Amino acid sequence: MSTTILLTGGAGYIGSHTFIALREAGFEPVILDNFANSHPVVLERLERISGRPVLLERGDVLDTAWVADVLRRHRPAGVVHFAGDKAVGESVAKPLKYFHNNIGGAVSLLRAMTTVFEDGSAPALPTLVFSSSATVYGDPASVPILESFPLSHTSPYGHSKLVIEEMLASLRRASPAWRVGVLRYFNPAGAHPSGLMGEDPADIPNNLMPFVTQVAVGQRPHVNVFGNDYATPDGTGVRDYIHVQDLAAGHVAALQALLSKGESFTVNLGTGRGVSVLEVIRAVERACGKTIPHVFAPRRAGDVAQCYADASLAKRLLGWEAKCSLDEMCADAWRWQSGNPNGYRG
Ligand code: WQD
């Protein structure tokens, strides 16, 4: 069987770390990316880390005929679909962009994967890992969150993830040959231990970890803590921060399960531990050896008090569990940020 795996959006934050983990597991990943949400410099970093050239197909996942041709030429054993937009706030302001790029992009990829080529052949057995998000749980009634919890959306971004999950379920009912792994990420954070790759927000970071490390490196004056009156141990928001390296390992485990057992699944990828905003700030202070100024600000619209995973299903089905600690996550994030104050823009 082919060991080729196609990574749509593979030059992005999660995709690039998954690329390395796949190569280390003996797969041959190919990156499909238009660099709308990533930077070409990542390719050089991937080559430095893995010691080998990177196979890139530069283009848009919305170009169905081109994607089908990529699949014909590479004949991957499986596809991991990362490509899409992921800023919750932006999705509220620009819903059509998210429906077009995320839902349209998924439809385009799935249609390409079901193409029958002129010579009568088709891409390998349709095997897909989909990058979903804990945001499909909306505002959970309790924590930790199980995969069986009710699903809802609180933003067009979350809505797009939910629609794609539902599309995949319909596809599997119509064509049982599809092997699909849906991965619901909690809060990805951290960076590659080499310090050569990490999270590189395009402008002001929405997410907490990159904002805190930008304050630590002196790019921003202080952290705004959005609310300290939540019903949580220290009053600040509690989330399940998972090291991007653990997340990458989760994708390898998902592909190995699909290719060996063939059973489809939907699992949480989280640590099962809830961590507050103040705990993150203190952990980054330990990593960088500096005090990180922070001020308490009003709650951010749409935020929930607590969101963390029950990660036992992924352990049972995939033999996967998160291994990295919050301190390891912050140490790796700090090494990346301090070595690359402007991310990949140099
Ligand atoms: C975490 C906590 C904030 C910034 C989002 C998406 C989710 C996924 C991850 C894509 C919250 C607080 C944050 C700041 C703060 N994205 N915070 N000051 O909102 O849990 O999840 O990103 O898949 O889909 O919803 O992550 O990092 O924005 O916030 O106090 O400057 O940090 O209130 O409690 P979130 P986040």
Per DSSP, the residues of 85-133 read ---HHHHHH-HHHHIIIIIIHHHHHHHHHT---TTS--SSS-EEEEEEE
User: Cβ–Cβ contacts within 10 Å for residue 166, how many?
Assistant: 12
Q: Give dist(CA 152, CA 159) in Å, integer.
A: 8
Tell which atom from ligand 1 comes closest to the C-alpha of 157: 24
Residue 124 has pLDDT above 70, yes or no: no
Residue 122 has pLDDT above 90, yes or no: no
Indicate which residue's Cα is closest to atom 28 of ligand 1. Answer: 207
Going from the Cα of 176 to the center of ligand 1, the distance in angstroms, rounded, reads 36
Q: Give dist(CA 181, CA 313) in Å, integer.
A: 13
Q: Give dist(CA 84, CA 9) in Å, integer.
A: 7
Half-sphere exposure of 176 (CA within 13 A, CB side): 0
Give the pLDDT mean for 314-339.
98
The residue with tokens 């998160």 is 322
- Listed in sequence order, the DSSP H helices in the chain are 13-24, 41-50, 64-74, 88-93, 95-98, 105-113, 156-174, 208-216, 244-260, 277-288, 312-318, 326-339
- Pairing state between β 241-243 and 187-189: parallel
Using the 8-state DSSP alphabet, how is residue 146 labeled? P
First-to-last CA distance in the chain?
A: 40
Tell which atom from ligand 1 comes closest to the C-alpha of 237: 34
Indicate which residue's Cα is closest to atom 26 of ligand 1. Answer: 207
Q: Is 88 in the pocket of ligand 1 (CB under 6 A)?
A: yes
Q: Is 242 in the pocket of ligand 1 (CB under 6 A)?
A: no
pLDDT given at position 202: 87
pLDDT given at position 346: 83
Give the pLDDT mean for 75-93.
95
Q: Is 225 in the pocket of ligand 1 (CB under 6 A)?
A: yes
Of the pLDDT bands very low, low, confident and very high (cuts 50, 70, 90), residue 308 is: very high
Q: Is 237 in the pocket of ligand 1 (CB under 6 A)?
A: yes
Q: Is 239 in the pocket of ligand 1 (CB under 6 A)?
A: yes
Give the pLDDT mean for 335-342.
96
Report residue 64 as tokens: 């169905």
In whole angstroms, how large is the CA radius of gyration of the chain? 19
Q: Give dist(CA 270, CA 143) in Å, integer.
A: 13
Indicate which residue's Cα is closest to atom 9 of ligand 1. Answer: 187
Q: What pTM value is reported for the model?
A: 0.97
Going from the Cα of 137 to the center of ligand 1, the distance in angstroms, rounded, reads 14
Going from the C-alpha of 128 to that of each of 101, 169, 172, 276, the distances in angstroms are 18, 12, 11, 34
Q: Is 187 in the pocket of ligand 1 (CB under 6 A)?
A: yes
Going from the Cα of 157 to the center of ligand 1, the distance in angstroms, rounded, reads 13
Going from the Cα of 196 to the center of ligand 1, the distance in angstroms, rounded, reads 24
Torsions phi, psi for 25 (to 5 deg): -95, 5
Half-sphere exposure of 326 (CA within 13 A, CB side): 20
Q: Is 226 in the pocket of ligand 1 (CB under 6 A)?
A: yes
Of 16-30, 99-113, 122-136, 246-260, the range with the lowest mean pLDDT is: 122-136
Give the relative orientation of helices 64-74 and 105-113 as an angle to the nearest 10 degrees. 40
Domains detected in the chain: 4-189+242-270+310-317 (3.40.50.720)
Give the pLDDT mean for 271-295.
98
Residues with active-site annotation: 157
pLDDT given at position 120: 80
